[in-house]
Each structure stands twice: as C-alpha cells, then as structure tokens.
Amino acid sequence: MELRRLQGWIITGTGALALLGAFLPWASVLGMSVSGFSGDGKITAFLALVTIALGVLRGLDLRGGTWLVAVPVAAIALGGVIAAIGIYNWTRMSSAISGLDTEIIDLSVSVGFGLMLTTLARVAVAASGAFALLRKA
C-alpha cells in the first residue's frame, strides 16, 4: 500500500475515534453520565465526519494533485479545532470539579471517557495530517 493511501486511512481511523467519542460520556456526576452529543459533541461529530470523508478520499486515492496537500492541511485544521473544543471542555470541567468542596458535599464528578477519547483522537488526527505533509508522499 502506498504511504499516502495509508496516511488517508490513518486520518479516517482517528476521525472515527473522535466521532465515537462525541457519543460517549463527557462527564459523570453522581453516577449519571452526560453524553458529549448533548453539548459541543454535535460540533465535534460534524467535524469528525468531514475528517473521515477527507481521509477516505486520500485513502482511496480518488483525487490527485492538490488533494494530496489539501487533505493533510484540512486534517490538521479540523484536528486542531476539535482538540481545542475538547481541551476547553476538559479544562472547564476540571476547574469546576476542583472548585467544589467534595468533603462537605458527597459529590462524585469526573471527566468522561468520551471527552478524553475525542480530545486525544483529534490530537492524533492533527499529528497524522502533519506526518502526511512532512512525508509528501
């Protein structure tokens, strides 16, 4: 398999992980989970679908020429935007958790696996796009 096609499938796979993360819990409070899709997960899911489509185009090598550069650049941009959304939500949630006095209130609040997966997958999308650009294959 050609390297550029492999890079397309890597972009597709990491985009799919980010899409999955949008539907998984982003937060857990008192044992109840809140899906990412009830908030910013809708944005990340849409951008993940765009990333998947671009990755498939590169993976199938359906378009040549400027698409060889456009797909990795788009992957970096989309990965950066969604990673920023994930980091923002993660930071906002973490600061809200640390602001609570859990000794007075028996409250169990945690960042959910979906938010972690979305954020880390998007960093991986941006990294795979950067790798594809550096390799120019």
Full DSSP string of 52-115: HHHHHHHHHT---TTHHHHHHHHHHHHHHHHHHHHHHHHHHHHHHHHTS-TTTS---EEE-HHH
Q: Which residues contact 23 (CB under 8 A, 6 or more apart)?
A: 35, 36, 37, 41, 45, 114
The sheet with strand 32-35 has its strands ordered as 32-35, 25-29, 109-111
pTM value is 0.77
What pLDDT, on the 0 to 100 scale, is given for residue 86?
77
* pLDDT at residue 98, as a whole number: 61
Mean pLDDT by 10 residues, the chain (137 residues): 80 90 82 76 86 87 68 80 78 65 59 82 80 69
Boundaries of every domain in the chain:
3-30+39-135
pLDDT confidence of residue 52:
92
What's the DSSP call for residue 24?
S
